[in-house]
Amino acid sequence: MPRHRLSMLAVLLALTAATSSRARDPSYVVLDPDSFQSFVANWMPETEPKCAAMRSRADWDKVMHPAPVMGGSKPFAPGPDVWAHDGVLLVARVIPAGDTANVFKLQGVRRADERIDVDYAFTPPARSSSTVKWWLGVRVAKPLTATVRFVENGRVVCMASAE
């Protein structure tokens, strides 16, 4: 085989490998906690993260509680159109009250074998006299796998079942 054909074959193989790798990554959208009038229900122990894989509004209602307030007009949960095609993967932590803008930074969502990995960086705000529950929610295309791992700063901190 001539040298230029071998080079072209190597490029095609590399592109094929990259494409099949990307195909394993589910499409996802990060949810904005401020878009919902809800809060994460209490969990124990509060020093550990709360993780959940939600396939439906009923699953959401087990993890999240509505926070009705006068003048509030935000939804309590994602709408039915979301649940028809997507699930929500959520990790929550009790953190010092303060600026929440950089607490969770999603680094990626990957399907590997029979699981989904949610990889994120976690940086809590500076110490404070009070705490809040803050969460990272990721809308992921269905089907959800049986196991979802939450990988925080490179370390698996919890797993959730989507069954």
pLDDT digits (tens, 9 = 90+) for 6-56: 444 333 334 333 333 444 566 899 999 999 999 999 999 999 999 999 999
CA 44 centroid distance within chain: 20
Helices (H), 79-142: 80-85
Q: Is residue 18 assigned to a domain? A: no
The average confidence (pLDDT) of the chain is 86
Q: Is residue 149 assigned to a domain? A: yes
**What pTM was estimated for this model as a whole?**
0.82
Q: Is residue 100 assigned to a domain? A: yes
Q: The domain containing residue 45 runs over which residues? A: 27-161
Environment class of 87 (CB within 10 Å of its CB; exposed 0-12, middle 13-18, buried 19+): buried
Q: Report how many domains make up the chain.
A: 1
Q: Token pair for residue 68?
A: 């009705």
Q: Is residue 90 assigned to a domain? A: yes
Q: Is residue 108 assigned to a domain? A: yes
For residue 126, give the amino acid letter: A
Percent of the chain's residues with pLDDT above 70: 82
Q: Is residue 63 assigned to a domain? A: yes
pLDDT digits (tens, 9 = 90+) for 93-122: 999 999 999 999 999 999 888 899 999 999
Q: Is residue 95 assigned to a domain? A: yes
